[in-house]
């Protein structure tokens, strides 16, 4: 790995929507409130770009101009999350004069290739490529910016766009629409086609489309959040010894996992899992590897459950209609579990696949069934080392993010404050494949890498 990385901030600016952008205030819905518990989402898009002069003199101004134009349609990203004292409900507020902080930095040219690879890299180095979101606290409220951006230029090699945004403002579906609008606007400006964003349908800010079942869920979740005794934000873990790596699963790998699970079910004379989608297969393999890299075996673990948590899209699962352009969160939390000894047995993959598949099918039938327990369940998960949380979705095509100089070379998502978190994205180069991003201690990463590769070999 690169021995060091130097980041020098050379420019800091405020990007505001055009002056005619109307103010907006959005109360949080019952699907937004649980995200008050989480620290910002952090993503990095790496792009090859060898022309340093063009990058600094032309491309960065295009990025600034196009972001300002895009924010006219997505003004809440320019605003703040206001969390007053009880009993006033939190809300997202954009007022004239609000802005997105953008930093421009320069870094070592040699660092780009290593940081944009699938290989191990220090989490601390990745964190230097994303901005902080300051949280000023007054006597009566906390005000947190929705979004911040950092452009880092690697001399003669490339650039990265690092983003920190509050998930309480929007889910990945919404954020993806915003990012692609920004990217297409930037590309059009360079091609001298359009000076303003071209979007097929403007975002829907109508909170009335989100119907609270029995009118109780929002109040229940708000009370749980207000009554918490620990910090609002997720517990930050020491990242000094953590490394992040990306592991690839091809469509053939996923098919082999499926074949193995079906074969094991036949040997045990058991029915196969009710769902064997690519998502279930990838999650099952990673869950088993993470359990084993703890150093346990089925013979030496106590009889207690291990939990697996993930995010499930809500637009197609809710009993009411939500527009595809809805701005905000429309995702549900899912948590399933299995006994540690069962997961570590020789049929652990079957156990994992059955548990994950059943929970997804339960969410298909009644997505809000366990919603009153979302906050307590995810707090419990974040406090345990044997629990796993999945962020990201391979259905969100992030590698189509073209600002005018092609697809990203690499995308990294950083999740170091939620226990053991993995990130699933679609593969850049393997059609139908997946990228599995994970951050672990150096010792556990070595174990995980070995287990992952051994299991892949056994599938052949």
The catalytic residue positions are 167, 402
Would strands 388-391 and 420-426 be described as parallel, antiparallel, or unpaired? parallel
CA distance 385 to 341: 16
Task: Say if CB 293 and CB 444 are below 8 A apart.
Answer: yes
Measure the N-to-C terminal CA separation of the chain; round to a whole number of Å.
30
Residue 65: C-alpha distances to residues 60, 75, 196 (Å): 9, 15, 9
Distance CA 311, CA 15 (A): 31
Which token pair is 52?
């340093």
Residue burial 179-205, b: 16+ Cβ < 10 Å; e: rest: bbbbbbbbbbbeeeeeeebebeeebeb
Return the ∠ at Cα 156 (arms to 151 and 157), rounded to 5°.
65
Question: Residue 131 burial by CB count (10 A; 0-12/13-18/19+): exposed, middle or buried?
Answer: buried
């Amino acid at each position: 790995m690169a021995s060091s990385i130097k980041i020098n901030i050379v420019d800091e600016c405020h990007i505001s929507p055009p002056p005619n952008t109307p103010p907006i205030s959005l109360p949080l819905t019952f699907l937004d409130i649980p995200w008050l518990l989480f620290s910002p989402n952090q993503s990095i898009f790496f792009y090859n770009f060898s022309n340093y002069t063009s990058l600094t003199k032309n491309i960065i101004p295009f990025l600034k101009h196009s972001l300002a134009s895009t924010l006219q349609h997505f003004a809440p990203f320019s605003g703040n999350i206001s969390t007053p004292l009880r009993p006033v409900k939190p809300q997202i507020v954009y007022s004239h004069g609000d802005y997105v902080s953008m930093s421009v930095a320069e870094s070592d040219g040699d660092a780009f290739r290593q940081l944009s690879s699938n290989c191990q890299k220090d989490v601390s180095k990745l964190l230097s490529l994303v901005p902080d979101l300051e949280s000023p606290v007054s006597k009566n409220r906390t005000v947190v910016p929705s979004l911040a951006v950092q452009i880092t230029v690697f001399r003669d090699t490339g650039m990265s766009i690092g983003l920190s945004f509050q998930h309480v403002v929007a889910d990945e579906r919404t954020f993806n629409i915003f990012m692609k609008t920004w990217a297409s606007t930037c590309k059009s400006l360079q091609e001298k086609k359009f000076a303003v964003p071209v979007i097929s349908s403007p975002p829907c800010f109508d909170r009335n489309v989100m119907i609270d079942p029995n009118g109780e869920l929002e109040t229940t979740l708000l009370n749980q959040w207000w009554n918490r005794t620990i910090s609002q934000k997720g517990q930050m873990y020491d990242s000094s010894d953590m490394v992040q790596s990306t592991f690839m699963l091809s469509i053939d790998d996923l098919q082999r996992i499926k074949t193995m699970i079906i074969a094991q079910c036949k040997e045990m004379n058991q029915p196969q899992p009710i769902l064997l989608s690519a998502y279930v297969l990838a999650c099952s393999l990673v869950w088993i590897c993470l359990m084993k890299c703890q150093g346990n075996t089925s013979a030496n673990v106590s009889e207690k459950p291990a939990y697996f948590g993930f995010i499930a899209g809500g637009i197609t699962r809710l009993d009411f209609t939500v527009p595809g352009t809805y701005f905000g969160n429309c995702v549900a939390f899912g948590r399933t579990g299995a006994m540690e000894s069962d997961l570590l047995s020789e049929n652990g993959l079957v156990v994992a696949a059955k548990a994950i598949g059943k929970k997804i099918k339960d969410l298909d039938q009644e997505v809000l069934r366990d919603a009153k327990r979302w906050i307590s369940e995810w707090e419990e998960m974040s406090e345990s080392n044997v629990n796993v949380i999945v962020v990201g979705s391979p259905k969100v095509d992030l590698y189509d993010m073209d600002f005018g100089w092609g697809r990203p070379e690499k995308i990294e998502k950083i999740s170091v404050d939620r226990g053991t978190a993995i990130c699933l994205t679609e593969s850049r180069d393997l059609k139908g494949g997946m990228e599995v991003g994970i951050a672990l201690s150096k010792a556990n990463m070595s174990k995980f890498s070995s287990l992952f590769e051994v299991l892949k070999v056994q599938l052949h």
